[in-house]
Chain A
Amino acid sequence: MKRLMIGNEAIARGAYEAGATVATAYPGTPSTEIVSSFAKFDDVYAEWSPNEKVALEVGIGASIGGARTLVAMKHVGVNVAADPLYTFAYTGVNGGLVLVSADDPGMHSSQNEQDNRGYGKFAKIPVLEPSDSQEALEFCKKGFELSEEFDTPVMMRITTRLAHSQTMVETGEKQEYEIKGYKKNAPKYVMLPANARARHVEVEKRILKLKEYAESSELNRIEWGDTSIGVITSGVPYQYVKEALPEVSILKLGMVNPLPENMIKEFSHKVERLIVIEELEPVIEEQIKSWGVKVEGKELFSLLGEYSPELIEEVLKGISNEDRYGLVKEIPGRPPLLCPGCPHRGVFYTLRKMRLMVAGDIGCYTLGALSPLDGMDTTICMGASIGTAMGMEKARGEEFAEKMVAVIGDSTFVHSGITPLIDIVYNQGTSTVLILDNDTTAMTGHQEHPATGKTITSQPTRKLDLVELVKSIGIENVQVVDPLKLDELQNALKEELGKREPSVIIAKRPCALIASKPSGVRYYVDPELCTGCKLCIRIGCTGINFLDEEKIAVMNDNNCVGCGLCPQICKFDAIKVLEV
């Protein structure tokens, strides 16, 4: 039966049909729905791992243990998992393993737009790139076969546009897959130098075999058309090319590493003009150039962002797609913002009020960096806030540390905040670390993590106790506060910042979107008392608006959830409880 599926769901279905029984991931847009979809199948094991390195390591164990295994992460997650990945490329697999890297050209929800096809090239593993959900399903199945046939992990590289586009999928039957036997094989799996030297030889042999395979694989195909232009492309850009240039000849690559050199050379001989259309880095183009083949690519198309059909039309057909009406230029922008009732809002309001330097991290709370909260000095990657704070202190001294905090979410802290906190204790830093514990992985759509006490399938499990954890590391100053009680929060900050010792403050309150019940309290602004000072507007909440004509604030009852933050901020007690 044919039905619509987003790319991520199709990948999960492909893994299921291939007989995969283990899947691991740390949630990250645009990859999250891959393993959350897989977890819904019967008779499989799926987990949210604490981070991507652990996810891949568990995946490696499952593969060596003989199971077909799916591991999924966003592009920057592969950086975290890169250490096991490069060596797993040496050992190879037992049960097949497909690693999905979900890249984010255009940075819809990411801190960079690195091109992870580069990982495939450096690790010398095959990289498959589907261009719609049907291919996502089929390539995933093919990936398991190739993984076992060539004894290698296989990377499937997708982008946001594939991950989150629904296209028609014809599903197939689940294949019966018998878990492979396990036999100790130290020369293959124990990467001591002597063994690794021998395995490196195998890696080089393998990539040559894969090159040969690429030449004849059905994953790569030519669609002949007008030969005045020959386009080499892969992934979703293939669809853009079909849309914008239906007449040209296309070499569509389903496997982007290693490349089919002879196939590409032959294609180049038959077309007058050879052009590579690939988003982000010139990964394909540079290899073709290295063979001495004349090809155009990045001199025509940008290294930045996502492509589109109109971009291709513009560059190759000279069709101008300039804004016809241009109203967009005269209207205010609409940046994303923290939800009404979000427990993070009061934290950033307080940090700014106290004029603190804030080393920030990755999550919903990164939105606290935007105006009007303007509450962050740095954001680099998952877990970086704590190490960054430590470095600032060591560069500028303990006095500076008294005016500085690291801010990190609960899920991010478990992901990669624990080791830098150990560093602060070990190397005698004095930083104050604020853990924003909203009891979920919010930004990616509310996934469980070790400190929520529930598994990926919402089963109860041993709950990681953050207070006991940080105490056991050696943090002696630990406070738990309610971030909606601003006095409590500010007093804790003052107290801990004043100590020349490391401290952790846990601001604990569930995400407003999962909170079990709304407060039920309604507020109104007393127009007699409101002076129009706009202090309440500076918390950036859609629950309270400012009337320009009347020069007063007014509650927006459609949005306000009655969290009670703005009444604490108003200096004139103008925001009052509405008695009903």
Chain B
Amino acid sequence: MSKQVTDILIVGVGGQGTLLTSRILADVAVQMGYDVKVSEVHGMAQRGGSVVTQVRYGKKVYSPIIKKGDADILLAFEKLEAARWLDYLKPDGMVIINDERVDPLPVMSGKVKYPEDIVDKIQKLIPNTRLINATEIAGQCGNTRAANVVLVGVLAAVAGLPVKEMENAIRSLVPEKAIDINLKAFEEGMKIIAN
């Protein structure tokens, strides 16, 4: 049975902008006429903890959360978080990882080491893994904080999402003064896949 719903899992560290990313994707799916559900995280976990936002769209969507092993795309804003949520990905799914390391408390305090080889491990398990230096690219566009939108560009290219609708969504959801930087960041993200 082919899947009727597209499942995108967006993971990161509280404060990295998973919420904005999910809202951009959801907005586009709505423009495309799909039924859409998005599950967000508010409250305690937002304070620097591991966060996950889930976007589902298709003809008809029931559950707001993605079944383990069903996600088509895992979009990770941080390397460790990609590993943490990898079991939610379907076997032939795709992982897009920002080449960004944010040390969690046990690493910062020197109790354990950050697993440097984590991306290698993921790549061995999931052939379809893309490691993107989104923070650096965003910096070149004018602000490292637009890294999430670089990744959105990568995802849009991979998932074949319509460019005009994506740009509309970015215009309506990011703060006015950041629109140009974010549109540039989106374009650069798209280019990575095109090239």
Interface residues of chain A, those whose CB is within 8 Å of chain B, are 2-4, 6, 29-30, 32-33, 108-109, 132, 161, 164-168, 236, 239-240, 242-244, 308-310, 313, 321, 323-328, 330-339, 364, 367, 370-372, 443-445, 534, 537-538, 540, 542, 544-546, 548
Q: Is the CB of B63 within 8 A of A371?
A: no
Q: Is the CB of A236 within 8 A of B108?
A: no
A-contact 0/1 string along B93-118, CB 8 Å cutoff: 00000000011111111111111001
Q: Is the CB of B43 within 8 A of A444?
A: yes
When distances are taken between beta carbons in the complex, the residues of chain A under 8 Å from B161 are none
- Alpha-carbon distance A236/B23, docked complex (angstroms): 21
A-B pairs with the 7 shortest C-beta distances?
A: A109-B43, A336-B49, A29-B43, A165-B64, A334-B104, A242-B62, A166-B38
B167 CB–A CB distance under 8 Å = no
A29 CB contact (under 8 Å) in B13, B42, B112:
B42
Q: Is the CB of B86 within 8 A of A168?
A: no
When distances are taken between beta carbons in the complex, the residues of chain A under 8 Å from B122 are 327
Q: Is the CB of A327 within 8 A of B110?
A: no
When distances are taken between beta carbons in the complex, the residues of chain B under 8 Å from A324 are 69, 87, 91
Please report the total number of B residues contacting A with Cβ < 8 Å. Answer: 56
When distances are taken between beta carbons in the complex, the residues of chain B under 8 Å from A29 are 42-44
- Alpha-carbon distance A344/B23, docked complex (angstroms): 32
- Alpha-carbon distance A324/B125, docked complex (angstroms): 10
**In the complex, how many angstroms separate the beta carbon of B105 from the nearest chain A beta carbon?**
6
B121 CB–A CB distance under 8 Å = yes
Q: Is the CB of A165 within 8 A of B83?
A: no
B191 CB–A CB distance under 8 Å = no
Q: Is the CB of A161 within 8 A of B86?
A: no
**In the complex, how many angstroms separate the beta carbon of A192 from the nearest chain B beta carbon?**
42
- Alpha-carbon distance A335/B46, docked complex (angstroms): 10
B14 CB–A CB distance under 8 Å = yes
When distances are taken between beta carbons in the complex, the residues of chain B under 8 Å from A328 are 83-87
Stretch of B29-37, B150-158, B181-189 on the interface side? B29-37
Q: Is the CB of B47 within 8 A of A330?
A: no
B165 CB–A CB distance under 8 Å = no
- Alpha-carbon distance A164/B81, docked complex (angstroms): 21
Q: Is the CB of B40 within 8 A of A30?
A: no
Q: Is the CB of B125 within 8 A of A325?
A: yes
Nearest neighbor of B144 in chain A, beta-carbon distance: A558
- Alpha-carbon distance A538/B46, docked complex (angstroms): 21
Q: Is the CB of A371 within 8 A of B105?
A: yes
25 contacting pairs across A/B (C-beta < 8 A): A2-B30, A4-B26, A4-B27, A108-B43, A109-B43, A168-B36, A240-B62, A242-B63, A243-B62, A321-B67, A321-B68, A327-B86, A327-B87, A327-B122, A330-B115, A331-B80, A332-B107, A335-B49, A335-B105, A336-B46, A336-B47, A534-B110, A537-B108, A542-B108, A544-B108
**In the complex, how many angstroms separate the beta carbon of A557 from the nearest chain B beta carbon?**
12
When distances are taken between beta carbons in the complex, the residues of chain B under 8 Å from A164 are 39-42
B20 CB–A CB distance under 8 Å = no
- Alpha-carbon distance A102/B26, docked complex (angstroms): 24
Q: Is the CB of A325 within 8 A of B87?
A: yes
B48 CB–A CB distance under 8 Å = yes
**In the complex, how many angstroms separate the beta carbon of B147 from the nearest chain A beta carbon?**
11
Q: Is the CB of B37 within 8 A of A537?
A: no
Q: Is the CB of A239 within 8 A of B109?
A: no
B178 CB–A CB distance under 8 Å = no
Q: Is the CB of B109 within 8 A of A537?
A: yes
Q: Is the CB of A4 within 8 A of B30?
A: yes
- Alpha-carbon distance A432/B65, docked complex (angstroms): 46
- Alpha-carbon distance A242/B63, docked complex (angstroms): 8
B50 CB–A CB distance under 8 Å = yes
Beyond A308-B63, A309-B67, A367-B44, 19 additional pairs, beta carbon < 8 A: A30-B42, A30-B43, A108-B45, A109-B43, A109-B44, A167-B36, A242-B62, A325-B87, A328-B83, A328-B85, A332-B80, A334-B81, A334-B105, A336-B14, A337-B48, A372-B105, A372-B109, A534-B109, A546-B108
A166 CB contact (under 8 Å) in B40, B47, B62:
B40
Nearest neighbor of B114 in chain A, beta-carbon distance: A332
- Alpha-carbon distance A167/B56, docked complex (angstroms): 10
When distances are taken between beta carbons in the complex, the residues of chain A under 8 Å from B112 are 332
- Alpha-carbon distance A3/B33, docked complex (angstroms): 11
B44 CB contact (under 8 Å) in A168, A239, A336, A545:
A336
Q: Is the CB of B87 within 8 A of A326?
A: yes
**In the complex, how many angstroms separate the beta carbon of A515 from the nearest chain B beta carbon?**
16
Q: Is the CB of B108 within 8 A of A309?
A: no
When distances are taken between beta carbons in the complex, the residues of chain A under 8 Å from B68 are 308, 310, 321, 323
Nearest neighbor of B61 in chain A, beta-carbon distance: A167
- Alpha-carbon distance A534/B109, docked complex (angstroms): 8
**In the complex, how many angstroms separate the beta carbon of A392 from the nearest chain B beta carbon?**
26
When distances are taken between beta carbons in the complex, the residues of chain B under 8 Å from A108 are 41, 43-45
- Alpha-carbon distance A175/B161, docked complex (angstroms): 39
Q: Is the CB of B106 within 8 A of A165?
A: no
Q: Is the CB of A546 within 8 A of B26?
A: no
When distances are taken between beta carbons in the complex, the residues of chain B under 8 Å from A444 are 43
Nearest neighbor of B63 in chain A, beta-carbon distance: A243
Q: Is the CB of B108 within 8 A of A540?
A: yes
- Alpha-carbon distance A160/B64, docked complex (angstroms): 12
Q: Is the CB of B37 within 8 A of A165?
A: yes
Q: Is the CB of A540 within 8 A of B105?
A: yes
- Alpha-carbon distance A331/B68, docked complex (angstroms): 19
A332 CB contact (under 8 Å) in B36, B69, B106:
B106
When distances are taken between beta carbons in the complex, the residues of chain B under 8 Å from A240 are 62-63, 65
Q: Is the CB of B109 within 8 A of A540?
A: yes
- Alpha-carbon distance A337/B106, docked complex (angstroms): 11
When distances are taken between beta carbons in the complex, the residues of chain A under 8 Å from B41 are 108, 164
Most chain B CB atoms below 10 A, which of A3, A166, A323, A540? A166
- Alpha-carbon distance A364/B125, docked complex (angstroms): 38
Most chain B CB atoms below 10 A, which of A33, A330, A331, A370? A331
**In the complex, how many angstroms separate the beta carbon of B83 from the nearest chain A beta carbon?**
4
B110 CB contact (under 8 Å) in A242, A323, A337, A546:
A546
When distances are taken between beta carbons in the complex, the residues of chain B under 8 Å from A339 are 47-48
- Alpha-carbon distance A444/B91, docked complex (angstroms): 37
B67 CB contact (under 8 Å) in A313, A372, A538, A546:
A313
- Alpha-carbon distance A326/B88, docked complex (angstroms): 11
- Alpha-carbon distance A45/B113, docked complex (angstroms): 53
Nearest neighbor of B115 in chain A, beta-carbon distance: A331
- Alpha-carbon distance A276/B80, docked complex (angstroms): 38
- Alpha-carbon distance A161/B43, docked complex (angstroms): 13
Most chain A CB atoms below 10 A, which of B105, B115, B118, B122? B105
A161 CB contact (under 8 Å) in B44, B65, B103:
B65
**In the complex, how many angstroms separate the beta carbon of B12 from the nearest chain A beta carbon?**
10
Q: Known contacts A4-B30, A332-B114, A540-B105; is A239 also within 8 Å of B64 by CB?
A: yes
